[in-house]
Structure 1
Amino acid sequence: MKISVRNLEPTKVKLTVTVDQEEFDPYLDEARKNIAKEVNIPGFRKGHVPGKLVEQRFGFGAVAGEAVNGAVPQLYSKALEEKKIRPMAEPEFDVVDIPESAKDEKKLKFTATVERRPDFDLPETEGMEIAIAAPEIKDEDVDKRLEALRQRFGTLVSVDRPAAKGDFANIDLNAEIDGESVDSQEGVSYELGSNTMLDGLDEALDGLSAGEETTFEGTLEAGEHEGQKAQIKVKVNSVKAEELPELDDDFAQEASEFDTLDELKADIRKAAAQDAKGRQATEARDAFIAKLQEGLEIPVPKGVKNNMVEQQLKNVAADPKKATKEQKAEAEETVEKELRDQMVLDALAEKLDVQVSQADVFNFLASIAQQYGMDPNAFIQAIMRNGQLGSAVQEVARSKGLLAGMRAVKFTADGEVVDLSDFLGNAAEEEEEESVEAASAAAAVADEISSDEK
């Protein structure tokens, strides 16, 4: 097999593959067998028709066409491996020549154009040292957590006064366009200051008492008239204020298993400290990936980037083509970072010769299924049916490579070595659910499968 490679772009190549007859013969034989299984010829059992007879009956062209369908993808994979090309998208195939008979000297020849991972050299992780910030627990962090717990035990009580920020108002809404009602809602509970409904609603409600109403102009954010201006009439049915319990030992006993408020605060501080360590591990991960990319110019594949940007914009705009310049710029920046991070982690996994077992992949997929309350076996079967097992293998390799690479690095904070073993695990007992890298990718895979299953 002769392979030539032409670089079209830094991240795009065109392979031309010419296949010797002896390499093509096994595919011709397989094609004859496949055709024999599908045809009925008098005097022969189905599937037992001699290959020569198949070729006589249906012609060499039919056999060669069937053989090409099997040969091209497999020979393309061999060509990628031989030339050490790492594809990042599906190829575009073009069959240039096919032999017209068994004795034809013309060889099978095809081209494959594909976007690829660019070449770059990663630094050695052994001996690498990275400084990160020390975890910081502030009193205000503890106070915020304590206040959130206090609000969980709060109650709403009716008040005879104008509504203010933080109050809960029960309201009726009616939107009109050109004097015609286009949408209405009754008995909606709304927290003033939350800004979770219509723009201008908070300002309109501020200072209104039960039984009062007002009208303001707003932009409808959903439904048939989404994006249109409307006159919105809002009426206040009642106003309630949140009444919070006193922070004392009685509250501690009601809200937790502790007898005193001091004990509760100590436990909250302990939880805050653990969360701070988790944030430090995330910072270490980001700093490590940034260190690997330091000084490298890594171009991203244009086609892959454009597809990912379009998917990003679908999450922020009903029509991606109508997204704002700011939205497009943000999506492009996000996608470029994600692609560079992925390419670097793929290269790291190769550099460290990371091995991914079947158990690794199945455990990874089972952990995702568990997170989303899905049956693990059904989820894994769905992954395989949709041809996404390769993506799962790649994600596991990235995670294992990331963990292995980070274990070789000395992370320091204020000159002291940081112990990240709680998050990185160890090489002997590595579990994918402990990865500080895979969470977002796992969620994306699960969301996509959930959507496909629906």
Structure 2
Amino acid sequence: MLNRLETIEKNKVKLEIEVASPDVDTALAKAYRKVVRQVNLPGFRKGKVPRRILESRFGPEILHEEALELLVPPAYEEVLNETDISPIGQPDFELIQIEEGKPLLFNAVVEVLPPVELGEYKGVEVEQEEASVDEIQVDQHLFMLREQNARLIPKEEGEAEEGDLLTIDFKGFIDGEPFEGGEAEGYSLELGSKIFIPGFEEQLVGASPEEEREVKVTFPDKYSKEELAGKEAFFKVTVKQIKKKHLPELDDEFAKEVSDFDTLEEMKDDLREKLLNNAREESKARMEEALIGKIAEKAEVDLPQTLVERQLDRLIGEFENYLRYQGMAMDQFLELAGKKIEELREERREEAERRTRINLVLDAIAKKEGIDVEDSELDDKIASIAESYNDSTDRVREIIEKQGRLPVIREEMRIRKVIDLLVSEAKIEMVKKEKEKKEPQADQGDSSAEEKQGGSEPAPKKNTGAEVKAEIAEKEENE
């Protein structure tokens, strides 16, 4: 039972907990029966050492650890249920007393959810853009389809141009000496991709097959490998092969090859409809984000750093997954961006704080409105997940429970209910979407060196069938 609850600092409490002496005696007896089976003492058969002799030989503490494992967790959980405390981390336990015939006394210091003072969250005014699709967007997606289905034709003659795919061998030197990580054979490089340090690719424009070139570059001042930062280097590069990208013609034959339609116009119509549906979903998502942001700004809450750091870990994990789907490891990205992981975390700290605030506010609204998820609703959700992967509900539930994700899914559903409530109560004004300035089509794949090496995120790759399957596999694994 709880003897005393004390707030010792902001969002941290101390619970003084007591367990009745009969329960302590029972736990010590169970601990003895388990420990004695592991003890060998001369003159006694294994498992037959009397408790009095065991404690005399090794001290009563030999039973305490085992008994505490039996007593502390359930007592702590019982107190949490009694007090309606919401811990946000593991407690620090302090043992005060454990002795046969006496109650167990211990303290638990734990960080708890902070109080949230909600502002107005019903009737909030928010704008939502009307969904629309223009021909430029359709053309962009058709261009992407052509890129995905492009043929690479070896260039036997002629010089390398931007957009060509080169196969190269290279070896880098600093002060005349090779350096670690500066050598590769059979490396595929698309000229204009800007994935190398500034100046490298530009010096290969105009090269011919089997030509050897010396490329001189300077590593960025902010480079992940400090020993290379700001240093001049030169690379011996051999161009082994040059391939030119040949885009297929945009006609009915192309439509038949890449879709289930017989004509280009039919494929375009289907593409427009899909883009419009995506635009509607994106418009709704942006409206919801703006609405939640407004509501969160009106609330007053102190953000516990434990939650902020936890959210930061999630953001970095999400980014690592994103990179993996692009075929890049985190170390590679940091090297290209010239950053350290600590810098990346600091860049995302503001977003982590924003998400933490939103989560606390939505949780507070859920509690105030009495919003929860029934077991039957959770069952329906699991059945829906199973159906989407053409699997049995029992097997999917088993996977979810094994991964400990059942509470996560339940919480996601609860928060979805909160958002639906906020949207239903909001005053939504539909507005025309502002036209964005479009870059010329030819410049689509060209990004600045800063964007490629030091920007917030690398540009997404086209979503190939293999990547879609990988995403499905990851979802099944996570859900």
Query: Normalising by structure 2, what TM-score?
Result: 0.68
* Unaligned segments of structure 2, at least 5 residues: 40-45, 321-329, 432-470
Q: Which residues in structure 2 correspond to 1:62-141 (within 5 Å)?
A: 66-98=66-98, 100-102=99-101, 104=102, 107-122=103-118, 130-141=126-137
User: What residue identity is the alignment partner of 1:272?
Assistant: L
2:459 aligned partner: none
2:376 pairs with 1:354: no
Deviation at 1:413, TM superposition (A): 5.7
Name the TM-score, length of structure 1 as normaliser.
Answer: 0.72
Is 1:19 the counterpart of 2:18 in the alignment?
yes
Partner of 1:204: 203
1:289–1:10: structure 2 CA closer, same or farther, 3 Å change rule?
farther
Instruction: After TM superposition, list the pairs within 5 Å mapping 1:408-427 onto structure 2.
Output: 408=421, 409-410=423-424, 414-415=429-430
* Residues 1:273 and 2:276 are matched in the alignment: yes
Match of 1:302 in 2: 305
Separation in structure 2 between the aligned mates of residue 301 and residue 444 of structure 1, nearest angstrom: 30
C-alpha spacing 1:168/1:280, structure 2 compared with 1 (3 Å): same
Secondary structure in structure 2 of the residue aligned to 1:69: helix
| Aligned equivalents of 2:253, 2:427: Cα separation in 1 | 43
Report if the CA contact (8 A) 1:349-1:398 is conserved.
Answer: no
Contact 1:94 1:111 in 2 (8 A): yes
Q: Does the 8 Å contact 2:130/2:430 carry over to 1?
A: no
1:150 alignment partner in structure 2: 146
* Offset, 1:310: 6.8
Distance 1:353 1:250, change over 3 A: closer
SS in 2 for 1:39: helix
Q: Which moved more, 1:207-216 or 1:124-133?
A: 124-133
1:54/1:382 CA distance change after superposition, 3 Å: farther
- In the other structure, the counterpart of 1:234 is 237
Residue aligning to 1:397: 410
Distance (Å, rounded) in 2 between the aligned partners of 1:255 and 1:381: 36
Contact 1:362–1:380 under 8 Å retained in 2: no
Distance change in 2, residues 1:18/1:271 (3 Å): closer
> What corresponds to 1:330 in structure 2?
347
Name the % identity. 26
Q: Is the 8 A contact 1:170 1:190 kept in 2?
A: yes
Report the Cα distance in structure 2 between the residues aligned to 1:113 and 1:174, rounded to whole angstroms: 57
Report which stretch shifted further, 127-136 or 266-275. 127-136
Task: Give the distance between the partners of 1:188 and 1:381, measured in 2 at CA.
Answer: 40
* Aligned: 1:32 with 2:49: no
Q: Measured at CA, do residues 176 and 210 of structure 1 come closer, stay the same or move farther in structure 2, by a change above 3 Å?
A: same
How many Å apart are 1:177 and its aligned residue? 3.3
In 2 relative to 1, CA 332–29 (structure 1 residues): closer, same or farther, beyond 3 Å? Answer: same
Distance 2:380 2:51 in 1: 43
Residue identity opposite 2:258 in structure 1: A
Q: What residue number does 2:183 align with?
A: 184
* Kept after mapping to 1: 8 A contact 2:255/2:261: yes
| 1:171 correspondence with 2:168 | yes
**C-alpha spacing 1:69/1:189, structure 2 compared with 1 (3 Å):** closer
Give the conservation status (yes or no) of the 8 Å contact 2:371–2:417: no
Aligned length: 402
Cα deviation code 1:384-440 (max 9, x no counterpart):
4xxx62xx2442232112222233333676449xxxxxxxxxxxxxxxxxxxxxxx9
Whole-Å Cα distance in 1 between the matches of residues 110 and 476 of structure 2?
A: 24
CA shift for structure 1 position 69: 2.9
- Partner letter of residue 91 of structure 2? P
Whether the 8 Å contact between 1:163 and 1:239 is mirrored in structure 2 is: yes
Aligned-residue CA RMSD (Å): 4.5
User: What SS class does the counterpart of residue 189 from structure 1 fall into?
Assistant: strand
Give the SS at the match of 1:132. Answer: strand
Residues in 1 aligned to 2:476 and 2:248: alpha-carbon distance in whole angstroms = 43
* Residue 70 of structure 1: how far off its partner (Å): 2.5
1:124-146, Cα deviation, whole Å (9 max, x unpaired)? 86666643222232221111111
* 1:242 Cα offset (Å): 1.7
